[in-house]
Amino acid sequence: MFLGEYEYRVDSKGRLPLPPKFRQELGAELILTRGIDTCIVVYPIVEWNRLADTQPAATITLSQKKRKLNRHIFGAAFNLTLDRQGRIALPPPLRRYARIDNAATIVGQNNYIELWNPDLWNSEQVSVEEQVWQITESLEDQQ
């Protein structure tokens, strides 16, 4: 389980260390892709395979929305491994998408990790704090 929020520097080669707590849980192989929000999502291979199993990957789907979602998620995915220092080399297209330059906020999201530009993360947190009670009430209404 990935929990917590951490801030790390991105080095001049675009490498980002991951928190030691996360490294063992991630395993040797991980997948990075664009998040729905302006962030990078990091999946352990097991979670990525679960996600892939829920998407119509092997057949052509007639749904334009599903095709666009697949392009967003799978078209920008990169298969990576941690180096000996527990770092990942952030692919330039994902860095540009998430606007990550010299620093990143690493956020545990239970079964995956999000990598954020620190300023965008702070804005997201303000938005969440303003809306969390409304979101909670709407979820209770659905039960």
Distance CA 74, CA 25 (A): 22
Q: What domain range is 76 assigned to?
A: 5-118
Q: Is residue 14 part of a domain?
A: yes
The radius of gyration of the chain from alpha carbons, rounded to an integer in Å, stands at 16
Q: Is residue 44 part of a domain?
A: yes
Tell me the per-residue pLDDT of 3-56, one tens digit each, with 9 for 90 and over. Answer: 999 999 999 999 999 999 999 889 889 999 999 999 999 999 999 999 888 876
Q: What is the pLDDT of residue 143?
A: 63
Looking at residue 97, its amino acid is: Y
In this prediction, what percent of the chain has a pLDDT beyond 90? Answer: 65
Question: Residue 54 belongs to a domain with what CATH number?
Answer: 3.40.1550.20
Q: What is the pLDDT of residue 56?
A: 62
Q: Is residue 138 part of a domain?
A: no
Distance CA 110, CA 63 (A): 30
Q: Is residue 76 part of a domain?
A: yes
Q: Is residue 132 part of a domain?
A: no
Q: Is residue 129 part of a domain?
A: no
Q: Is residue 143 part of a domain?
A: no
Looking at the predicted structure, is the pLDDT value of residue 58 above 60? no
Q: What is the pLDDT of residue 27?
A: 86
Q: Is residue 9 part of a domain?
A: yes
Number of domains in the chain: 1
